[in-house]
A = this chain, B = another copy of it.
Amino acid sequence: MFLARVLASVMLLLTLTSPARAADEPLSLWNDSPSRNAIIDFVTRTTTNGSSDFLPPEQRVAVFDNDGTLWSEQPMYFQGLFVFDRIRELAPQHPEWKTKEPYASILKGDYKKALAGGDKALITLVMATHAGMTADEFSSIVAQWLATAEHPTLKRHYTELVYAPMLQLLDYLRANGYKTFIVSGGGIEFMRVFAEKTYGIPPEQTIGSSIKTKFEMKDGKPQIIRLPQIDFVNDGPGKPVGIARFIGRKPVMAFGNSDGDIQMLQYTTGGSGPHLGVIVHHTDATREVAYDRQSSVGKLDKGLDIAAANGWILVDMKHDWKKVYPFE
């Protein structure tokens, strides 16, 4: 009995003083900050039996923007960089591109001029690189690009440029019975190539913009053919529409970083019942890039103005995160 008691005391002591304890705490990659505490408080309230904010598991739906919320988006949305790389790769098969805009500017490395043509130029480039093949072929092209391409300045594969504190948050939410979804303006089939391995989010929980497709039996084999026509733009007011269509249930947590996430945040936090809206604010010029109101990519302007009035939590990347990227 005596030995058992000593053993129990020692184990208690270990529990109280072990350095392993910090790592076991939720969101250990987050500093003790209002944003971290608001998230933990919300998850605790909604998952504690008997709490007035308790949510049954099927209502625990959390939605995440991707670009700028789960991975970086500077100097340009990574899918945009994929488009540029792809145009260069396909150029030998299209000699006419050397003198035809917006291709010509891209081949000269002048992305700004290429995109000066606005939506029309952008759609032309997207269709030239995203349509005209089967779904399987497109996935292979993206997978190959992700495995080989490097970020222009950081010289890392793009899937390395994910936010370690957000990966930890995804795990933490799932460990608490939350179902995690991506709701992004990015291409749905583009993101699905890496979302499962990178974020633990399966394709059926990855929602994004899409082009039209059609089904065909080709030489006795079933194929999904990608067509050069916009189907759905899952950005801004399109995000709640995409959520209603794909999830069919209002989320209770929403995480975004730009004005394109405002409607998703409004939809999530605008009704009754427990809800939490969070905006990741890019404040870290050293470890990442500091940008908000003036940025052409991931612009956060109106969102900053209305966050407080809506009760949305701002994550201050510089002060709230112990590290930004997993490789740090």
Residues of A with Cβ closer than 8 Å to B? 58, 135, 179, 188-189, 192, 196, 202-206, 210, 213-215, 217, 220-222, 224, 237-241, 244-249, 263, 266-267, 270-271
Q: Is the CB of A245 within 8 A of B188?
A: yes
Q: Is the CB of B244 within 8 A of A213?
A: yes
Q: Is the CB of B249 within 8 A of A213?
A: no
In the docked arrangement, what's the CA distance between A245 and B220, Å?
22
Q: Is the CB of B240 within 8 A of A215?
A: yes
Q: Which residues on the B side are within 8 Å of A245 (C-beta)?
A: 188, 210, 213
In the docked arrangement, what's the CA distance between A135 and B250, Å?
11
Q: Is the CB of B220 within 8 A of A270?
A: yes
Q: Is the CB of A246 within 8 A of B248?
A: no
Q: Which residues on the B side are within 8 Å of A248 (C-beta)?
A: 188-189, 192, 202-204, 206
Tell me how many chains of this kind the complex includes. 2
Q: Is the CB of B267 within 8 A of A215?
A: yes
Query: Can you pick out 9 interface pairs between chain A and chain B where the beta carbons lie within 8 Å of each other?
Result: A58-B196, A58-B202, A203-B249, A204-B249, A213-B245, A217-B270, A222-B266, A222-B267, A222-B270
Q: Is the CB of A270 within 8 A of B214?
A: no
**Taking A188-B248, A244-B135, A245-B188 as contacts, is the C-beta distance between A237 and B214 under 8 angstroms?**
yes
Q: Is the CB of B58 within 8 A of A266?
A: no
**Taking A135-B244, A203-B249 as contacts, is the C-beta distance between A215 and B271 under 8 angstroms?**
no
Q: Which residues on the B side are within 8 Å of A206 (C-beta)?
A: 248
